[in-house]
Amino acid sequence: MEKYYTRACNFYFGKISVIKYKKKKSLALHGNENISFDHIEIISRKSKKIIHIKDINKLKKKIKIKVKSDLEKITKKKYFLKLNLLKSPLTMGILNLTPDSFSDGGKYNKKNKAFAFSKKLIRDGVDIIDIGGESTRPGAKQISEKKEWKRIYSTLTKIKKLKKLISLDTRKSLIMKKGIENGVNIINDVSGLEHDSNSINVIKKFNSAVVINHSQGTPSIMQINPKYSNVLLDIYDFFEKKISLIRKKGIKHNNILLDPGIGFGKNLKHNITLISNISIFHSLGFPILLGVSRKRFIKDISGFNDSKERLGGTISAALFSFLQGVQIIRVHNVNEIKQSIKVFKSILNG
């Protein structure tokens, strides 16, 4: 049986969005009148078609039922911990305590540099601090639990005193357990809870929030010729199955974020397809986290104009994801991203 997917598209923002929504000419995305849409794309593995929302009742019965079910999830207000998602996009600031992360390895893993940078992130207006002690860059090798925890512990004990949401970037259940016991609020596992079979049990036991990432293969091999039947729909199906599994295990609905894993087992075409169609994941009914900061796809596109920080490309991708209703953006340069979003929103509002 052919499976159909619904992607919200043709978005409106600010004053125009509110006017259209109140006139019932558009639908509010995740309950936010300031971002609405009036078209949807109906996708299958054989076809795709964009229609206006006024034409939904003209669809065949089976497709219409599926589309209306998806629209309920797309338009329903989303929740994640105590964050105000109506002010999205929010920022998750990256704090790597590693010597070998792809863009900032060795920068914050000495003395008090990590704590000082954490305070800067907070001054810049970060919403979540994402701390990690093991590099998951393409080609990275796994390290021991002992070494990973040693890199994290000292900084974590200081950061938790800053009263800011803390996310822990790890694939190991023991590190998750220790992290949660020491103030971590969110588990950000790039393997999508595939690496360690005990991870789901730890998250359930401590009632922790979790980011479900998608990654094809382990960091050491993930960029060796990644392949998909249809990258957008394959990842959607992965999320659907994983959500069903962890909900059955007792993980709370409002404790789940989705991240399609840009650069994790994806080539340039895969990454661009995912970012340009990111709004399809709204129909799963959970907030979306997107990590685009300084990633290789920016270099692949910019070529000669590439720079070490890739700030221009990061801002471009972040602003586009905002236009698709993404709620949280994971970035290195929090201040610059916040500035670009504020200016962009102001221009949109006239």
Task: Tell the burial category of 63 from Cβ atoms under 10 Å away from its Cβ (0-12, 13-18, 19+).
Answer: middle
Q: pLDDT band at 201, cuts 50/70/90?
A: very high
Q: What is the pLDDT of residue 109?
A: 54
Q: Where are the domains of the chain?
A: 5-75, 85-348
Q: Which residue among 295, 296, 310, 338 is the active-site one?
A: 295
Class of residue 299 by CB neighbours under 10 A (exposed 0-12, middle 13-18, buried 19+): middle
Structure tokens given for 138: 């393409």
CATH (residue range 85-348): 3.20.20.20
Determine contact, residues 284/240, Cβ cutoff 8 Å: yes
What was the pLDDT predicted at 222? 66
Q: Is 330 a catalytic residue?
A: yes
At 221, list the tokens: 């091999």
Q: Alpha-carbon distance 338 to 345, whole Å?
A: 11
The residue among 181 and 224 whose pLDDT is bigger is 181
CA 299 to centroid of chain Cα atoms = 21
Over the chain, what is the mean pLDDT?
A: 92
Structural contact between residues 117 and 108, judged by C-beta atoms closer than 8 angstroms: yes
| pLDDT tens by residue, 303-349 | 999 988 899 999 999 999 999 999 999 999 999 999 999 999 999 88
Instruction: Return the pLDDT at 25.
Output: 97
pLDDT of residue 63: 96
Q: How many residues does the chain have?
A: 350
The amino acid present at 234, given as its one-letter code, is: D
State residue 107's pLDDT score.
Answer: 53
Least confident of 94-103, 122-131, 213-222, 286-295: 94-103
Q: Which residues pair with 94 in a beta bridge?
A: 130
* Amino acid symbol at 17: S
Told to judge if 64 belongs to the known catalytic residues of this protein, a careful annotator would answer no
In DSSP terms, 40 is beta-bridged to 8, 51
Mean pLDDT across 215-230: 82
Residue 150 confidence (pLDDT) above 60: yes
Q: What pLDDT, on a 0 to 100 scale, did the predictor assign at position 102?
A: 47
Q: Tell me the pairing of strands 48-52 and 165-169.
A: unpaired
Percentage of residues of the chain with pLDDT beyond 70: 96
Q: Which amino acid is at 327?
A: Q
**Statement: residue 298 has pLDDT above 60:** yes
